[in-house]
Structure 1
């Protein structure tokens, strides 16, 4: 008698749980049971895992987020074996493939290979999530639901940040030039432990929220979405992250250019007028953006100068993928600055994977913008047009923020970046499938 594959799977899981109970006791059995139930649910529908991961990762330990995102690609592969589902690879993923190849090569040749594995694993988890998204989300309604879950999670992050403004949080000395900012007592960071990291997250999420709000036709929903987006904007203001403010300004300009240039006529006076209502501490932070007197600015300039020297000495292949080989090498140039990254994404990438690697990274970023613009922003479907404009603005915003921060360093920001990339590629694929269905 031939035993069905599903029955074999059930017996395997039962044996697994029985072994856990026998050897480890009831606590591990319950944990195993929860894990098996989650496994079965995601095998049944990978979208459950995608939605759950997109909602939960900001609030979970980095290791848990890594496992969740990395496992999504494997679930797709398992389903393809069990249910004979077809796996598709998009032609526009070539730039990602090139970047992935360079990352692997730079890990193998790294001065600290085990340290490079950390960042390789984080980015592999992001790529796994992109792969799962493009092979699982097939309808506009599913894409919209995923984006909604993603933004609800962001709203919770933002609300926690706003709450911190009233309760107060620890202010670390390195976050602020105390001598020139004596009136600042709080910089919120929500669940990210650092206000600049929270700003990086919001720079990528706010433009997407604006795109969703812009498309919404229902006045009731538009009011709710506008209010939620406004809360996210309040939160990024409360981070007092000047790099974040620059990033969101570039994102706003990009969105306006892509949607309707005439909005500039309104945006410029509204933006300038809004400065009049900002508290003095925020105005002082804006004024200090280009100040060489500000200690955090001079600190970054010093890091950039040393990083440039490092790049000149390792311009071909870099020192190795990830922050650990960079940090180890940087400290051979100066031992009094125990930094973790270059506070500039482009210098950091060049230092890690070389000048050619930086070129491939920029090719990946710019080609992603090109694909999003051609396939989404230029679409006749207003949903894709406005969502595409928001996604393009997210990429431009984080690239601008990358001039003063390295946005591929913190795990949860790496995950956010790849989820945004996943939404872009998934939206392109969903729209193309819709066109094929209409033609047939």
Structure 2
């Protein structure tokens, strides 16, 4: 959207805050002949995609909530802008994460959302402007593109490291063996690398307890309860991040501390919202 020279000039001014000054512009497969990927100020387009999973899901939840957080036309504009920006990152994993979370939201509560999602999917398939994205998505599913093949190599190396240090992992400073390294495009494999299967098991246990608690509270909410939108938004933002985490690592990568903090903040907000709903449960029979 913004010319490349302008983007470089603007982002280079952030060098006083530690923003990189080389390789600022990002392209599909790092090939300047391919479309440029949106990065905003996130350095990495996939990191921006992870951020937009959370923001888009929350925005859509507030759009369909009754009453909405802001006037619906304004909320629709906000959610739509985030959706377009998510598309411009060309982050397939983030798109899958956001679509999964919004799909669950539609099935649980806002059925009209499912219609809008199907219409958007149909537009992406038929519009000439989106064919590059569609082709890239299909190649990713088939494992035919370079980025996906590199991921497969990362998965293989990660599994080798995990088999050598399965219980507690290797920590966060680095791999102890010269033929291994820490770093894989998967939240779950990264946790297993650094914290072992014990850490991964604890993470999954916390997630199961979290979703069980939130779902039990949501199921007992009366229709159009004012806390329903926030509860669905925050909890499904976490769900979307977990789905996106199958393909990316940013929500557990200490280099991207803002995304790690955002993930746990959303979980905390969901729990706080559920507890507020429980405190007002006298009117609708919450335990």
- Same fold flag (TM > 0.5): yes
> Per-residue CA shift, 1:196-238, capped at 9, x if unaligned?
0011111011111111111144798001111011111111111
Cα distance between partner residues in 1 of 2:213 and 2:284: 22
The 5 Å alignment of 1:28-427 reads 167-169=6-8, 176-177=28-29, 182-184=33-35, 186-217=36-67, 221-260=71-110, 264=114, 267-277=117-127, 278-320=129-171, 322=172, 324-325=173-174, 328-329=175-176, 332-334=178-180, 341-376=183-218, 378-380=220-222, 381-406=224-249, 407-409=251-253, 410-427=256-273
1:49 is matched with none
- 1:235–1:222 CA distance, 2 compared to 1 (3 A): same
Q: Does residue 1:435 correspond to 2:281, yes or no?
A: yes
Q: Which has the higher contact order (CA 8 A, sep 6+)?
A: 1
Q: Which runs of 5+ in 2 are unaligned?
A: 9-21
Q: Which whole-Å CA distance do the structure 1 matches of 2:164 and 2:42 have between them?
A: 34
In 1: Cα distance, 2:134 partner to 2:6 partner: 23
Q: Bigger radius of gyration, 1 or 2?
A: 1
Q: Deviations over 1:240-273 (max 9, x none)?
A: 1111111111112111111145754664354223
* Alignment partners' CA distance in 1, 2:169 and 2:70: 53
Q: TM-score, normalised by structure 2?
A: 0.81
1:412-434 Cα deviation digits (max 9, x unpaired) = 10111121012111112222223
Q: Distance in 2 between matches of 1:165 and 1:238?
A: 14
Number of equivalent positions: 267
Render the CA deviation track for 1:4-43: whole Å, top value 9, x for unaligned: xxxxxxxxxxxxxxxxxxxxxxxxxxxxxxxxxxxxxxxx
Q: Structure 1's 173 and 438: CA in aligned 2 closer, same or farther, altered over 3 A?
A: closer
- Tell me how far apart the structure 2 counterparts of residues 397 and 414 of structure 1 sit (CA, whole Å): 14
Please say which of residues 375-384 and 236-245 is displaced more in the overlay. 375-384
TM-score, normalised on structure 1?
0.55
- The range that moved more, 347-356 or 409-418, is 347-356
Closer, same or farther: CA 218–208 of 1 in aligned 2, 3 Å:
closer
**Where does structure 1 lack aligned partners over 5 or more consecutive residues?**
1-161
User: Higher helix proportion, which one?
Assistant: 1
Cα distance change, pair 219–294 in 1 and its aligned pair in 2 (3 A) = closer
Deviation at 1:397, TM superposition (A): 1.1
Report if the CA contact (8 A) 1:377-1:385 is conserved: no
SS at match of 1:382: coil
